[in-house]
Structures are given as structure tokens and as C-alpha cells.
Amino acid sequence: MRRLLLALPFALLPLTSPVTANEHEHKDHHHEHDHAEHGSLDAHEHGAAQLNVVLDGKALELQLDSPAMNLVGFEHAAKSDADKAKVSAARSELEKPHALFGLTTGDCALTKKSLESPLFSASAPAEKHDHDHDHKKAHDGEHSDIEAHYMLECQQPDDLKQLDLAELFKRFPSTEKIQVQLIGPNGQQGLELTPAQPTLSF
């Protein structure tokens, strides 16, 4: 249920709004799940990641979907101590959205966070369905992604003019580009961020 919560607002735009889509989230779970499976595999490209951003009033929602290769340097299940350390380090970095997305204005507080990947299954299994699914994917040798989803509440959203992903590119240097879909006060926009151009404006 937590996977790709932002898929519906973007998929159904302009037919609905993020609020309406979230109200139908449970009903459309199977559609969401299929979209997540097929969409992430089709879009899987080393060096590239996807970021969905929604700013609606005080609510800021961020979802980063990246091949594990970009963040930890491999996609197989971590067995060696060195690989486990890399997974742990990446997970630790992903726990800090304020630093990764340059959230220095807007007075935004993190209210919910979810980090999901087959590589995380051993140390922090998700609910049984997700764990079994991720475990199978890892053993089938399919591409492994890492999904990070954040919900924040911004007390001064008008002060939130941009996101700066310079720190994300610095901490995960194998990430060469990030395709962004943004829904904000000025409507929807899509753009590509790179280490040379790491900022986006609301």
C-alpha cells in the first residue's frame, strides 16, 4: 500500500487531484502495484533515478526511485560485510531528506518516511507480502531498486522556493541524472536534474 503513493496523482492528471487520488488509493491498490512493478523495471537505468514531488498547501511529498546500483554500487543481495556496510551507509543517508533535498526553508518537519528495497529485506523486513515479493525479486536476479518516500509538513510553504539536490548527487556520485515530476502551486512540470544543475523551483 505504501509503494508509489504518488503514482496515481501523476497517472491521472489532469483528471483528478492528488487529494482525490489518495482517497481512492485503497481501491486502486492493484493498479498501483502493477504500475510500480512494470514502471520501475521499464525505467530501470543505471545512473538515472526518478523523483516525484507534490507540494499541496503545507504538505510536501517526495518519492525517490533509484536503481540500487546508483546508491550502493551493486544490486545483488548483500552477503559480505563490506556489501552490508554499503547498504547500511546508503540507508543512513536516505534517513536525512532535509540534507539530500536542501530543505533549508519552509520550516518543514518530517512526518512519515518509508525506505524499501530487496536489499533492505534482511535487516528490516517490510510487511509479509512486500517482503516475500522483494525476496523473490532478489533471488530471481531481477534489477533491484531502492524507493524512498517522505511526507513532510511545512509551516511556511510560501518560503519554500526550491529543492537543491546537490548533496544527493554528492553523497551518491553514481547518480548522474534525476527525472523529476513536480506538482506545485504553479501546476505540473517535468525536468531533469544533474550534478551541474541540481536545483528545481516550485
> Per residue in 142-175, pLDDT tens?
579 999 999 999 999 999 999 999 999 999 999 9
DSSP string covering the chain? --TTTTHHHHHHTTTS-HHHHHHTTTTTHHHHHHHHHHHHHHT--TTEEEEEEEEETTEEEEEEEEEHHHHHS--SPP-SHHHHHHHHHHHHHHT-HHHHTT--SS-EEEEEEEEE-GGGTTTS--SHHHHHHHHHHHHHT---EEEEEEEEEES-GGG--EEE-HHHHHHSTT--EEEEEEEETTEEEEEEEBTTB-EEE-
Q: 0.85 exceeded by the pTM?
A: no
**69 pLDDT higher than 70:** yes
Residue 129 pLDDT greater than 90, yes or no: no
The confidence score (pLDDT) of residue 143 equals 74
Residue 107 predicted with pLDDT over 50? yes
User: pLDDT tens, 8-18?
Assistant: 444 434 433 33
Query: Greater confidence, 130 or 98?
Result: 98
Mean residue pLDDT of the chain comes to 78
Per-residue confidence (pLDDT) for residue 178, from 0 to 100 = 98
Q: For 112-117, what is the mean pLDDT?
A: 96
